[in-house]
Amino acid sequence: MASRVASRLATRVNGMMPRPPVSPAANMMRQTRHFSATACTLKKDVIREAEVPVSVYQPDGKRSSSGAAADHFKINVVQNTPADAPEPSDMVQALTKSQYERLPKTIRDMTVYDKVVIVTGGARGLGNFMARALAEAGAKAIVLFDANQELGDASAAELNQKSGLPVSFFKVDVRDDAAIQAAVDAVVQTYGAPDVLVNSAGIADSNIPAEVYDAAMFRRLIDINLTGSFLMSKAVGNAMMKANKMGSIILVASMSGSIVNYPQEQSCYNASKAGVIQLGKSLAAEWAKYSIRVNMISPGYMDTALNRVPALDAQKIQWRDRTPQARLGGVDELNGLCVYLASDSSTFVTGSNMIIDGGYTLW
């Protein structure tokens, strides 16, 4: 099939097959369809033999060592199985003042030295690992907001113990604007106005067809993922404005805000993350005049508790198969981009939605 498509394309390229006249736009669409269909087909048709049969005939018709006309044997093929995500480090080494001062300017700009950082959803998963990374990148203080009291408290204690930095935990639900305001006010009093907000709190519902999606569930997810991103940005943005801070707000969206996942049906999650991306772009445009930057990180499939549910095991095989890197992302694989966006090395980056997905959205 692949070779038939390829030879048909080659024939056309060589101009041997007459083409009906088509408009340039229709022509472009047709070529695009051809290209993606061919890429998918080629991927399925890739041949992967475990062994290669070999026949060796000696010169001048000499018999082989066994007396036969030829030696027949097989050689094994080493299969390049894609590696899983690297294990995240369990250590947190806070950047010291003397280390910071010895860094060349370019690297110094890539730190968050002396900045006050708030991370929502910081009790576990991607948010927790971004908080650890910001601690290593020089943060003055780390504040975790999360709805999970037990986990949030334990994570704050662990981060404080590992990094030696001041770390606070506030049990805040990102739907609760009054609680958010009180918590942000307390952060300002304790550590000074925040320089960085990472909004990672979020939930996912999947495998719910739209025609049976319960309206209350739909509203709840939008309230946490989208309204929560707005309420957090508003409270922290105001604190940054009041203190004249050149702040950086990072909203964790998802590739689901730009594509529709397959095979699981999850219209509400996808809509919520598309909303987060467009919210972030709008805030970036409105708040550039206050020197506040707003950017989005859009992860693909990541290996976190959110996805470690038995009901998703079968689908995960398909997710991997549709990801060029053939794996899920590691829980710490947003860290580098998060630190970059929080730091002064990205001062001209605002309103950007950056996808980290092992190439998923390429196919």
Ligand X SMILES: NC(=O)c1ccc[n+]([C@@H]2O[C@H](COP(=O)([O-])OP(=O)(O)OC[C@H]3O[C@@H](n4cnc5c(N)ncnc54)[C@H](O)[C@@H]3O)[C@@H](O)[C@H]2O)c1
The catalytic residue positions are: 254, 269, 273
Strand blocks (E) in the chain: 51-57, 70-76, 116-120, 141-146, 167-171, 196-199, 248-252, 293-299, 353-356
Q: Does 204 bind ligand X (CB under 6 A)?
A: yes
Measured from the CB atom, the residue of 111 and 256 that comes closer to ligand X is 256
Instruction: Tell me the per-residue interface mask from 95 to 124 with ligand X, x by CB under 6 A, - otherwise.
Output: -------------------------xx-xx
Q: Does 202 bind ligand X (CB under 6 A)?
A: yes
Closest distance to ligand X from the beta carbon of 123 (Å): 4
**Structure token digits, residue 27:** 């022509």
Number of other CB atoms surrounding residue 158 within 10 Å: 15
Q: Does 231 bind ligand X (CB under 6 A)?
A: no
Measured from the CB atom, the residue of 12 and 316 that comes closer to ligand X is 316
The Cβ-side half-sphere exposure at 96, using a 13 Å CA radius, reads 3
**Structure token digits, residue 211:** 């025609």
Q: Does 341 bind ligand X (CB under 6 A)?
A: no
Q: Does 125 bind ligand X (CB under 6 A)?
A: yes
Show the CA angle centred on residue 335, arms to residues 331 and 340, nearest 5°: 160
Of positions 174, 236, 283, 338, contacts ligand X by CB under 6 A: 174
Number of other CB atoms surrounding residue 178 within 10 Å: 8
Residue 276 CB contacts under 8 Å (≥ 6 apart), including other chains = 225, 226, 229, 251, 252, 253, 254, 257, 296
Q: Does 354 bind ligand X (CB under 6 A)?
A: no
Q: Does 175 bind ligand X (CB under 6 A)?
A: yes
**Structure token digits, residue 145:** 């907001």
Closest distance to ligand X from the beta carbon of 255 (Å): 7
Q: Does 299 bind ligand X (CB under 6 A)?
A: yes
Q: Return residues touching ligand X (CB under 6 A).
A: 120-121, 123-127, 146-148, 151, 173-175, 200-204, 224, 228, 252, 254, 299, 301-302, 304-307
